[in-house]
Each structure stands twice: as structure tokens, then as C-alpha cells.
Amino acid sequence: MVDALLSGNPELRQQAYDWAEKNAKTDKVTTIRATGSRSTCGRAAEPVLRGSASNTPRGPPGWGKIRRTPAPHSSKGTTMQQRTLGRQGLTVSAIGYGAMGLHLAYGPSDEQEGVATIRRAYELGVTFFDTAELYGWGENEKVVGRAVRDFRDDVVIATKFGFTRDYGLDSRPEHIREVLDNSLRFLGVDYIDVFYQHRVDPAAPIEDVAGAVKELIDAGKVKYFGLSEAGSETLRRAHAVQPVSVLQTEYSLFERDAEELFPTLEELGIGFVAYSPLGRGFLTGTVKPAAEYDETDMRRTDARWQPGNYEKNLDAVRRLGHLAATKGATVSQLALAWLLAKEEYIVPIPGTRSVERVEENVAAADLTLTDADLFTIGTILPGGGYGERYGAGSLPNWI
């Protein structure tokens, strides 16, 4: 059935929509907001649904496994429910904030607007802020540090090491220590909550990398160790030296490859942070053709914006928009809610330079999806979007 949907078979597509419409009338509703982890690695409990489990629709082959647990009531506006990442005590808001776009890849920005956006995110309950040395070579970290200065002890700051100024890789222990000292200074803090290796460096044994971060943790300069775009073997080897609390990798309705790593994460008790959870902005509903973006915007060359792929992705977003509208939500909120529904150890970190947009993103933590909603989303994008996430030679090699 999934193959037929991908090929655009109108008869089967109509059957899918008829199924979704019929089952949307049931009272089987699942709240996707995060609760505290109910196991040491943050894995979800069994689904709790209103209505008979025996009557729960199964959906088509390839629909995929989605775990959901209902969240207890919490006040809105200043609090957000938390998720546990890993087994070392890292707890963050269900939705975080990615700061990369303030200085890299998405065209010109206004730093003051960025500061205001980060502060507004905190007011709305976001406690997880992600930056990196690479994002402006200290400039991004300075902005994040300035924005969170008045509430630093209330939030989790994640930054990354591993690149050189000419965009090569360098994860030698001495370079890791150098980057940490710079990041502490740029952020204006005396410790880093999460210190990620930004990309796996083939020239630096992962055991040496993990050992260097372990020394920093033992010294009180770092609290948790993370990896980004790493494969299962690398995760296991690093974890044997210093427990890995979290893996960060691109993951969204458009990009599903990371799902092959989930069994390893569950086995080792490692949390997952989804970057580009809105498909680099395609899932915001405000997308435009590649040529209309600024010369410094990566979307001008992103394969998902190129002719052929662009039209197919645009049609998928249009259809997602119809579903979102029935729930009084936006496409962005629907996409983030889908991520939160997948596993309780997943935390998306959408980035934005707009106060209005961060308010929209945070509201996704309160969005309720039914099984029928999840099925309909699966029929629209059963295997992800169209187009590779990175160009030839740039796609991370998971080992």
C-alpha cells in the first residue's frame, strides 16, 4: 500500500483518506506531550488510549511504530513538560531551541532579534539551547550566552567541538580542550551542560575523544557527553569509555534515516536530539523557490528545493496543512508533534529568529494527535521527503 501511495495511485490514496476520516470520528485520542522518563533510558510506556484497544486501527504496512504516553496536566505559558535524555540525569524541555540560524546557513540576521527570541523561548518554558563553535566561530555562542545570562542556572546549554576554521575536522584531545576554553569564554559560563563532538573525525580514535571529554566531566567543566551524526559502532565504542547521554542527528517528517539508529539508542540508553526538525524550513508552510533565497542561504542549493523535488515536497506540505487546519494548528506544529509522538527520548530543537515563530513552535508541545491523524501523516509522507539532505560528498558517513 505504501508503494502505491508513493506512486500516486488515486484509488488507494482515497482509501487511506476514507480510513482516516472514519477513524477520526472515534474518541481514541493520544496526548503527545512529554512526561518524565518512565525508564532509565527515557523509553516510553505502553500507549494509553481512550477507547477499546481491540478497535484501534492498524493502518497500512510500513506505517511504522509510534509510542505515545499521555501527559499529566501542567499550566501553560511558563512551563513545559520535560524529557530525560540518557541515563546520566540530563533533563530538558520537550522542545528545545537551535541557534545555528542566527549566524549560519540561513541568510542575514539581527542579533538583537535573536536575543529577544531566545528570551521569549525561555519565558514559554524552553530550557534547552543549542549552539556550536562552528556557528560564527564564537559569535553564536556570545549571543546565546548574553541571552541566557539572567537565567543561566535554569537552562541547559549545549555546544560542539570538532571543526577547524577551514571546515576540516579536528577532534584531537588538545583541540577539544582548546575549544572548550573558548566556548566557556564566549558563552560567559563556568561549565558546559552538553558537549558534543560535531562530526566524527576519522583521524581521532573515538576512544580518545570520549576519554578527553571524560576528563573535562571529571574536572567539572562539562556535565554530559554527546555525539552528532554518529553511527552505531561509534556510539558503542564511545559509550564504553564515557557514557553518551545524547545523539544529535537530522530527523523530521522529511528525513527518516536516523530511525535505523533507534535500537542502539534504546539498548544503550541514549537520548536523541533532532536537528532541522522542520526540514530546514520546508515544513513551516512559508517555503519559496530556491532562487528567491539570499545568496548566503543554504536552501538555494538544497536538493529538496530543486525542480522535481520541490513540487513534490510542496504538495506534501499542502496536504499536511489541510490536516493541521482541522486541528487549529500549523504545519510546523503538526511536524513537531509528530516527532514528539515517535519516542519519549526524542527532543526536537527547531531554530528561528522570530519571536512569533518561537511561540508557534512551543505551542506544538500541547498539540494532541489521534491515531487517525498519525495514519494520515503516514500516508502523505510514508518514507520522508524528496531530495537528499546533503549534497554529494557532504553526507555524514555513519560508522
Residues carrying an active site annotation:
135
Residue type, 254: F
In sequence order, the β-bridge partners of residue 90 are: 85
Alpha-carbon distances of 220 from 216, 224, 283, rounded to whole Å: 6, 10, 39
What CA–CA distance (Å, rounded) separates 316 from 6? 11
Phi, psi torsion values for 103, nearest 5 degrees: -135, -5
Which candidate, 366, 352, 332, 355, places its Cα nearest to that of 123? Answer: 355
In sequence order, the β-bridge partners of residue 257 are: none
What CA–CA distance (Å, rounded) separates 255 from 35? 25
Cβ atoms within 10 Å, residue 377: 25
* 8 A C-beta contact, residue 228 and residue 199: yes
Burial 347-375 (b: 16+ CB within 10 A, else e): bbbbbbbebebbebbbbbbbbbbbbbbbb
- Grid cell, residue 80, equals 513545559
* 8 A C-beta contact, residue 198 and residue 160: yes
Alpha-carbon distances of 360 from 144, 176, 269, 344, 345, rounded to whole Å: 20, 36, 31, 21, 22
What CA–CA distance (Å, rounded) separates 285 from 61? 28
